[in-house]
Chains A and B, each alone.
Chain A
Amino acid sequence: EIVLTQSPGTLSLSPGERATLSCRASQSVSNNYLAWYQQKPGQAPRLLIYDASSRATGIPDRFSGSGSGTDFTLTISRLEPDDFAVYYCQQYDSAWTFGQGTKVEIK
């Protein structure tokens, strides 16, 4: 099983700042089969990024994904009030596993 470790656990930032979230895999993720999801309280997760760097339909370009192999990053270029949420990475190379999540909170 591929284990995903996200860091940091919590990120405290102000609107307008840049957010950088990390996801590290226990083994290489082939073909960059790595996705990022956003979840707000009481809501279902929403797909943001797939194949490590492709934005899903309707996702603003302030969200970007990068990385390969075992190290992946989600960057939010300028945080908007609506972006404060929990973010999960997921690998879909070998079955499916999720990271434990990173909470982006207002500083």
Chain B
Amino acid sequence: EVQLVESGGGLVTPGGSLRLSCAASGFTFSSYSMNWVRQAPGKGLEWVSSISSSSGYIYYADSMKGRFTISRDNAKNSLYLQMNSLRADDTAVYYCARGSRIQLSNSVFDYWGQGTRVTVSS
């Protein structure tokens, strides 16, 4: 059974940093692209960042470029999101999601974790 478990969320002050983790199990992690998607309170889904299976290709949504860094450790079956210079509008539930294909492009998100909540507030 595919499982994705996010952790690392919490309360952080504006300008602060946070590192999210996603632990994967039930599939060959190194064979799939991975993604982060967020959802602000009461709002819709927003794609954040994606990384290919071998970390060779990485993409970010424009509003996250330069502040967020996605990475993965295939030996540990883990995905990460380093978030710096956090703002109030980064407050959201952050989901990790598996890409459906080995290649990053044109992959749909076929399995999702339950999310971790990030609150940016003073």
Interfacial residues, chain A to chain B (CB-CB below 8 A): 31, 33, 35, 37, 39, 43-47, 50-51, 56, 88, 90, 92-93, 95-101
**Contacts A44-B114, A45-B95, A50-B100; A90 near B109 (Cβ below 8 A):** yes
State the CA gap A68–B37 with chains docked (Å): 25
B110 contacts across to A, CB distance below 8 A:
47, 50, 56
CB-CB nearest in chain B for A30? B106
Binds A, one of B16-24, B41-49, B66-74, B78-86: B41-49
Of B46, B59, B111, the contact of A98 (CB 8 Å cutoff): B46
Contact-residue size bin, chain B (C-beta under 8 Å from the other chain): 20 to 34
Q: With A44-B114, A50-B100 known to touch, is A95 a contact of B108 (CB < 8 Å)? A: no
CB-CB under 8 A from B59, the residues of chain A are: 95
Q: Which residues on A sit within 8 Å (CB–CB) of B50?
A: 96
* Most A-side CB within 10 Å, residue of B47, B50, B114: B47
Q: Which residue of A lies closest to B109 (CB)?
A: A47
Q: CB-CB contacts of B47-62 with A at 8 A, as 1s and 0s?
A: 1001000000001010
